[in-house]
Amino acid sequence: MLRISYLRVGVAISKPSSISTLPSISFSSSPSSSHSHLTFIPKTFLFRPPSLPLSPFTSIMAPKASASYSTGSSSGEGGGEREILVQHLLVKEEDQKLLLDLLQRISKGEDLSDLAVEYSICPSKDEGGMLGWVRKGQMVPEFEEAAFGAPLNKVVRCKTQFGWHLLQVLSEREESLLQDIQPAELHAKFQDPNFSEEAQLIDVREPEEVDKASLPGFTVLPLRQFGTWGPEVTTKFDPQKDTYVMCHHGVRSLQVSKWLQSQGFRKVYNVSGGIHAYAVQVDPSVPKY
């Protein structure tokens, strides 16, 4: 099993998507299975956009599998909700004098992130108060209301059960899309001669599997070699392009699809059923194994 480990301070919940920093990776595999698995456990990280939100005041609620995920047809458009990039500083409720002093220093040109490192009591202080990309439903209500109502780059304050926050929204974007695509739909797209140039095709199977059966145009990124290609994925692939991910049966590819979405890939499509389903449903000439 391939495990990607994270630590989220103050919230003991698992997060199926992850990582903007380079993850710490341990690898193990079961002798009875040829499949590798990504397991995501949130951790405080060095911020390299895009990222995931991280905070002890994140709402304690079961997270969604993805920002936008559907197992239906790929013809529909998902997403549309805003995601915002937020940094913040947290002080105790009784430290109002400190809060006002920090606000004054910010008004004179000091940077919120620098002050967070020195004064914030949130674990995110180690990253200059960076929480990463967040969407509605992930933060406690008071923080969410203030953050989603704040003008870009303006420092605003709000109070939650954790104390006083100074927060700053640095950027915003449309929520990303993660969706299944059926083999027949993928086959139809292959009929367009421009498809391979306009889309990015990723096969996460192992080399010995690819030798048995493959589809044209796919770049092979073996899941067991995640530690090699993972850190460079956003430089070798364009997060703004439609990205299609395939494996043998659709399980490993879904795990990688979720991870790619967490890295800022805007539209990610998981090939439902993998190359096996493609061979059974669409093209019998593709070997089955």
Same domain, 140 and 227: no
Catalytic residue among 247, 268, 271, 279: 247
Residue at 106 is within a domain: yes
**Angstrom distance (rounded) from CA 40 to CA 276:** 26
For residue 94, the domain's CATH number is: 3.10.50.40
> Which of 78-82, 173-177, 219-223 ranks highest by mean pLDDT?
219-223
pLDDT in the model for residue 175: 73
The pTM assigned to this predicted structure is 0.54
Angle, CA 133 vertex, CA 67 and CA 260 arms, to 5°:
55
Confidence grade of residue 66 (pLDDT, cut at 50, 70, 90): very low
Name the 3-class secondary structure at 135.
strand
Over residues 11-30, the pLDDT tens digits come to 222 333 333 333 333 344 44
Residue 172: count of CB within 10 angstroms of its CB: 13
pLDDT in the model for residue 223: 96
**Angstrom distance (rounded) from CA 189 to CA 195:** 6
Same domain, 145 and 87: yes
pLDDT in the model for residue 262: 80
Same domain, 223 and 258: yes
Residue 271 has pLDDT above 50, yes or no: yes
Domain count along the chain: 2
Same domain, 251 and 267: yes
> Are 243 and 267 a contacting pair, CB within 8 Å?
yes
Q: Mean pLDDT score of the chain, rounded to an integer?
A: 79
Residue at 224 is within a domain: yes
Same domain, 170 and 193: no
Which class for 153: exposed (0-12), middle (13-18), buried (19 or more C-beta within 10 A)? exposed
Over residues 275-285, the pLDDT tens digits come to 999 999 999 99
Tell me, yes or no, if 158 is annotated catalytic. no
**Angstrom distance (rounded) from CA 97 to CA 134:** 29
pLDDT in the model for residue 57: 52
Closest CA to 98 of 163, 153, 54: 163
Residue at 112 is within a domain: yes
Same domain, 202 and 237: yes
